[in-house]
Amino acid sequence: MKYRTYFILLFQLMVTVLAYTASFYLRFEFTMPAEYFRMFYETLPILVVCRMASYYIYRIHTGSWLFVSMSDLVDTLKAVLLGSVLFVIGMVFVYGLEEFPRSVFILEAVLSVMLLGGSRFTIRYSYEFKHRVAPKVRKYVLIAGAGRAGVMMLREVQSNPGLGLQVVGFVDDNPYKKGTNIQGIPVLGNIEDIPALVKRLGIDEVIIAIPSCSYKDLVRIMDIARGAGVETRVFPSIGRLIEGDVYMNRLKEVSYDDLLGRKVLKFRRQSDYQLLNREINGKSILVTGAGGSIGSELCRQVAYFSPRVLILYERHENSLYDLELELRKKFPDQKILPVVGDILDTKKLDETLQANGVELIYHAAAYKHVPMMEREPIEAVRNNVMGTLNVARLAVKNGVDKFVMISTDKAVNPANVMGTTKRVAELVVQGLNGEGVKFMAVRFGNVIGSNGSVIPLFKKQIAEGGPVTVTHPDITRYFMAINEAVQLVMTAGAMGSGGEIFLLDMGEPVKIIDLAMDLIKRSGLQPGKDIDIVFTGLRPGEKLYEELYWKGEGIVPTENKKITMLRPNGDGHDDIFRKIGVLEEHVAEGDVEGILSVLKEIVPEATIGESSA
């Protein structure tokens, strides 16, 4: 390598002499007359100077011989042409052209190209052949896209046998390419023909080499290939690699908090910290529904304030197991008690409360999926009403100091079974308040990014290429981040003295269509072009908009500007527990009509029954 340049210059000099000698012998059919020997020797220095000067101008001596390409060949042609022009000019002004055989100019130039270019390509071929290894596993592949990227992919596969790939053919939606050959590899059909080609040719993998196609088309091709039972890979253009816009990482990660359209509330005041520290530190805390989105975040933030014991009460073992591992890693000194249990299991819950001297309960366990609860009203009542009543009564029995229930804005003028049951649960905790336990509820809107919420669904639909489904173009919802919802629950619980319903200033409601479009754009795609949005119609029990309170509820400010409080509207709760007893009888009998009838008696403003019966 140290003397590489000198060696190449010497080689170019030898090629020039050899090509010039061969051109004379070819011109005279290998019997060159004696007088032309003198002409040959006199003109050779002129040719050498012209050739070496042109090679230097195009820097032919700097090119790699192991990775020679078409661009190197083009530079060689240009250098030879320039050298020939300089040689002709030199001959005219130095030697003259009267007796010089004109065909030598052409023969010498052709031989120079053949010897110089051919030698470089021969060395490249011998290098690749020498380093060729037999692949351990061979896969037969189709390349989707017979354009420049597809040819690049073909070259890479052919020049790197160690990949263990053999290109069987191309597929391309351009009908004029079908039946043609690209470097000996046939274009076998279009994208839709992939399943048939896989079956007929035993294809193992499809490589998608169409960097210009939209995300929607990319997902379509991948779905077709995967539907045929073969693996898929995406080959990006060099431009996209440089830009960092590679298809495999095309979807940008979107923070849920960025979609709120407002700043996420963070209670960082020293007074808030002190309030929560007094509320939680050194006490026994139980969280029902600990494995859910809200419940798990409650556990994380409660653990920060070092309770005496944190009890994770959850009936789903997998989510409970994951949460336990996470908390033990983040809070190694915190005493954590995971309990696999149902809020309807009176005996186990009673034993848990009694054995651990629970002082504060965060009740997050509930069914929250509106359309599903329309189909399962019995389960909605059993879990949301009877489960809440069971936990609340056991809290009274075991002398719990505070009980904070997670409620929802769907409890206001409810149009669905889920919202109605949550309103009944609010009435339950208000009805029990004053029996030694400070009962309160926290009412808020949709938690962005929680299990079952619209954002994870949208993200999944976008990843699958769409369409994104929105029920109605005018539907709106209040949204909160999980961490601010939990901060509200904890702060409100610490502020409450019993009987209150707290709610958070969540800003203006957000149109779901705007949320969907924003998420698509933040994912690096374009609505309508890459991802379609379709409207599916309102689902059973779904309203166009939600409310946080209704007339008759008095809104009272609290010391925290972001939290307001709703006072009871003056109605008594004496008859609620009798009606819940009737409700329980209908549940035991499986009487859906009876359940809906009693629910409407307890919550007269509810509009339910038609789609659930």
Q: Which residues are catalytic?
A: 410
Contact between 138 and 165 under an 8 Å Cβ cutoff? The reply is yes
- Residue with the two structure tokens 């979107």: 254
Task: For helices 387-397 and 417-432, give the axis angle rounded to 10 degrees.
Answer: 10
Quick one: CA dihedral 280, 281, 286, 292, positive or negative? positive
State the Cα–Cα distance between residues 123 and 67, nearest whole angstrom: 9
DSSP state of 214: -
Contact between 418 and 370 under an 8 Å Cβ cutoff? The reply is yes
Here the tokens at position 566 are 């709703």
* CA separation, residue 60 to residues 11, 113, 120, 252 (Å): 12, 12, 11, 44
Quickly list DSSP for 71-114: HHHHHHHHHHHHHHHHHHHHIIIII-SSSS-THHHHHHHHHHHH
State the Cα–Cα distance between residues 43 and 51, nearest whole angstrom: 12
Contact between 139 and 165 under an 8 Å Cβ cutoff? The reply is yes
Provide CB contacts within 8 A for 53, sequence distance 6+. 83, 86
State the Cα–Cα distance between residues 387 and 380, nearest whole angstrom: 10
State the Cα–Cα distance between residues 479 and 3, nearest whole angstrom: 71
Pairing relationship of beta strands 446-448 and 360-363 according to DSSP bridges: unpaired
Question: b/e map of 387-404 (b: 16 or more CB within 10 Å)?
Answer: bbbbbbbbbeebebebbb
* Burial of 330 per CB tally in 10 Å (0-12, 13-18, 19+): exposed
- Residue with the two structure tokens 């769409």: 466
Here the tokens at position 373 are 């609860």
> Within 134-289, where are the H helices?
148-159, 194-201, 215-227, 238-243, 270-280
Look at residues 278, 595, 296 and name the one whose alpha carbon lies nearest to residue 417.
595
- Count Cβ atoms below 10 Å from residue 463 Cβ, excluding itself: 14
